[in-house]
Structure 1
């Protein structure tokens, strides 16, 4: 169906994850419950902007996507959607998203979201991706912003808790994406993308994954140490982080890289479970 092709243009799984983290950022602020409709409307605006950013990424990567097994079936790469239609669709999403956020939230939120949009769609996609093996590390900043965006949409201020959540996602991104880069290393080599496993080697990349996983654990402790979260958060997220570190350490001796996709898939589940635990802890602290 044509509708499904346009949906695929938006990278729906990534947009869903970003939107859920933004939603949790919203719901962690008590201001959200004063006007739920406005909060959800601005969240929809964020989802539209995230979708337009993902679509613009595919527009710029159209030729590269044609040559990679993982991306060759994307709507533009496969020719299922024309470039003109993709540009029109992306522009509509951009207009709707910006309008909703501006009307239902505030200028601060729109500015942060616009920064993330420009950073990912233009700076990362056009320049950073091709310029440095730290592309995923630096580019991860845009994907780390949703909790802060969700918070500011309802609170109209920047606070410590959403900032720690931004840091957590930022540190999670390298050990999340690098196993996939290792699994698809030949494709990235062919296209000349200087991913970390290509530029610095697979062994070095695995060591850095362990370092980032340990730093992620440390950052995850910050909300509890600052008194922003409770025991449920501490226990739940610690278990997630310990298992993540265990997988990354086991990966060091995995000469055949069998664990690549297991780590990648777990890292996606990690993010869902982490934010679920964070919100459940918020409810426990509020009502128990």
Structure 2
């Protein structure tokens, strides 16, 4: 159930980076250094990294029951950025064949020929190696293992296996995006506990409605690339019902964290209000089944996760008087 067969087109790998219309073989040598740097940076998907790191530092504050040392926060963020950037670059390397078939991704550097595939892969592997060495050397071994394990899960479980074969792809594969909270907690305590595991659950259940909302907008792209993202293989109604289910669980976990994480009134009230608004937007998608409603939910989902984790920081600052 939830498995879609792939067309031969989606399984075909692109051997050369310069097969897009208008891309000449000389493009690699003709670009200027700044353009090259921008292309490599885009491989790491900076906007996704920003969202992941939004969850890391607040988790560190909660784990510390105050503000951790600036150096520890910087070291953890740098290591997390390297690990996430490497994972995203490998994802682009693997998906370069289907990226050229999707309107949203056809301008990525491996599709346009800005970067050769082998260089992108080497770049990604180097980032992962640096991430592990950096976190082990400047944070701790547990954080390093967690960060690189998340990359392995994202690449092998999501990108190489589930993304092209199952409509449950983002449900299971999205777990990789929840690991930064574990890394943040481990960076401070060098251990794990129930509190970070509940936060892991928060991100895990937040990911499907967040991503499906965007996928509703780009369902034709996924169909063109034979990627069985849920909105591409199921009706908007079915997708919306599942989004509501995940949102309800998300709301419950965010409230559970108030007790497990020993949070105060600032966080609790924020979790109640933010979760209620999230559920409202999810219900609106079901009611209207319109792309506009889905995109409003997508936009709010980013605001939600940012404000929820910001509330954790404010809660700790207010309670400890730091």
Common fold by TM > 0.5: yes
Structure 2 counterpart of 1:44:
78
Contact 2:195/2:261 (CA < 8 Å) preserved in 1? no
Structure with bigger helix share is 1
Distance 2:189 2:135 in 1: 13
Cα drift, residue 184 of structure 1: 1.0
Cα drift, residue 92 of structure 1: 2.4
1:202-281 to structure 2, matched below 5 A, reads 202-226=236-260, 228-281=262-315
User: Is the counterpart of residue 146 in structure 1 residue 180 in structure 2?
Assistant: yes
Moved over 6 A (4+): none
Contact 1:39/1:154 (CA < 8 Å) preserved in 2? no
Distance 1:49 1:192 in 2: 28
Q: Decide which of 77, 96, 113 is 2:147's aligned counterpart.
A: 113
Change (3 A) 1:132 1:161: same
Contact 2:236/2:286 (CA < 8 Å) preserved in 1? no
User: Is the counterpart of residue 66 in structure 1 residue 106 in structure 2?
Assistant: no
Distance 2:302 2:65 in 1: 29
TM-score by length of 2: 0.85
Cα drift, residue 87 of structure 1: 2.0
Cα drift, residue 27 of structure 1: 2.1
Distance 1:75 1:198 in 2: 25
Contact 1:32/1:39 (CA < 8 Å) preserved in 2? no
Contact 1:39/1:104 (CA < 8 Å) preserved in 2? no
Distance 1:95 1:255 in 2: 44
Contact 2:140/2:190 (CA < 8 Å) preserved in 1? yes
Structure 1 counterpart of 2:230:
196
**Most deviating of 83-92 and 95-104:** 83-92
Distance 1:116 1:190 in 2: 29
Larger gyration radius, structure 1 or structure 2? 2
Structure 2 counterpart of 1:163:
197
Cα drift, residue 50 of structure 1: 0.7
User: Is the counterpart of residue 29 in structure 1 residue 29 in structure 2?
Assistant: no
Structure 1 counterpart of 2:30:
none
Distance 1:132 1:264 in 2: 22
Distance 1:283 1:172 in 2: 25
**Most deviating of 116-125 and 82-91:** 82-91
Residues 19-65 of structure 1 show CA distances to partners (whole Å, capped at 9, x for unaligned) of 22112222222288564324422331121011000000000001110
Distance 2:144 2:125 in 1: 16
Cα drift, residue 227 of structure 1: 6.0
Distance 1:167 1:204 in 2: 23
Distance 1:254 1:33 in 2: 44
Contact 1:10/1:55 (CA < 8 Å) preserved in 2? yes
Return 5+ residue gaps in structure 1 as ranges.
none
Structure 1 counterpart of 2:4:
none
Contact 2:237/2:289 (CA < 8 Å) preserved in 1? no
User: Root-mean-square deviation (CA), in Å?
Assistant: 1.7
User: Is the counterpart of residue 125 in structure 1 residue 166 in structure 2?
Assistant: no
- Secondary structure of 1:259's match? helix
Change (3 A) 1:122 1:90: same
TM-score by length of 1: 0.95
Change (3 A) 1:251 1:98: same
